[in-house]
Structures are given as C-alpha cells and as structure tokens.
Amino acid sequence: MPSRVVLDTNVLVAGLRSRRGASFRLLELVGAGAVRPVLSVPLVLEYEAVLKRQAEVLGFTPADIDGLVDDLCVLGERHAVHFLWRPTLRDASDEMVLELAVAAACPHIVTHNVRDFAGSGRFGVEVFTPQRWLRKTGASR
C-alpha cells in the first residue's frame, strides 16, 4: 500500500528544478505508485498556478505543467475540506495544506518550510522535509 502524504507546493518546485535532490526522489516515488499524494481542489490549483509561473525557469511549457498536474490528479487521492480552523499557522497560505491533511486523516505533510507548520502536531500531523521523510520511510536511495 502506498504511503499517503500531503506535498507542499515547494516540494514540487524543488523536484522539478533538480533531479538530484530528495524532492525529485519523492516525485519519482509518486510516479512509481509508492507514494500517493493527498490532494484537494485548492491545493491542485495552487500547484498549477505556481508551476506555470515558474515553467520557463523550470524548463517546461505550460502544456507540460498541465500534463504534470493531470498526472498528479490521476495518481493522487482527492479529498474535500469542509471545515476551517484558521488561523492556526503563522503563514495563512499554508492553512489549506494542514486542513487537507487533517480532513484526509493523512499523517504526514512534506515541505521545505517545516517551521511554518509549527503546531500541526496537535492535529496528529507530522511535518517533514523531503529528505527526513525519505529517511524515516526508508525510501531514500
């Protein structure tokens, strides 16, 4: 059974920026079916908007980004979020990531901004950097 995680947008950007890091390894595991991203409509829209803004720098076309986001939607597990606890986190833009993890009973958020998710533990959600998550699960190379 694949591991379920909520991926913060910065993990996707980092994984597309370099093929050498832990973020790319995590995206490889998603593609292989070993990791199942937990998704919501707002999070997917954020993925699309941020990746399209950075598409040229990342070496992709907008059509490439559409394909990537479509693939994530096919591989992911979709959840609706029907409640809000805001404000909980210091960065309001991260609230939807935590709310999704709680609504989906997903135990892990993977992000490069761990400090922005201080307080997530009270909802039973652990927050990891990609590298720490890969080590914890034994999925690093």
Query: According to the model, what pLDDT value does residue 81 have?
Result: 87
Query: According to the model, what pLDDT value does residue 84 have?
Result: 67
Query: According to the model, what pLDDT value does residue 83 have?
Result: 67
Expressed as residue numbers, the domain containing 14 is 3-137
Query: According to the model, what pLDDT value does residue 10 have?
Result: 97
Domain count, the chain: 1
Encode burial over 80-97: b for 16+ CB neighbours within 10 A, e otherwise. Answer: ebeeeeeebbeeeebbbb
Amino acid at 91: D
Residues of the chain with confidence (pLDDT) below 70: 83-87, 141
List beta partners, residue 4: 36
**pLDDT tens digits for 52-82?**
999 999 999 999 999 999 999 999 999 998 7
Model-level pTM? 0.93
The CATH number linked to 126 is 3.40.50.1010
- Whole-number Cα distances in Å, 10 to 2, 23, 107, 111: 22, 9, 19, 7
What is the SS3 assignment for 131?
helix
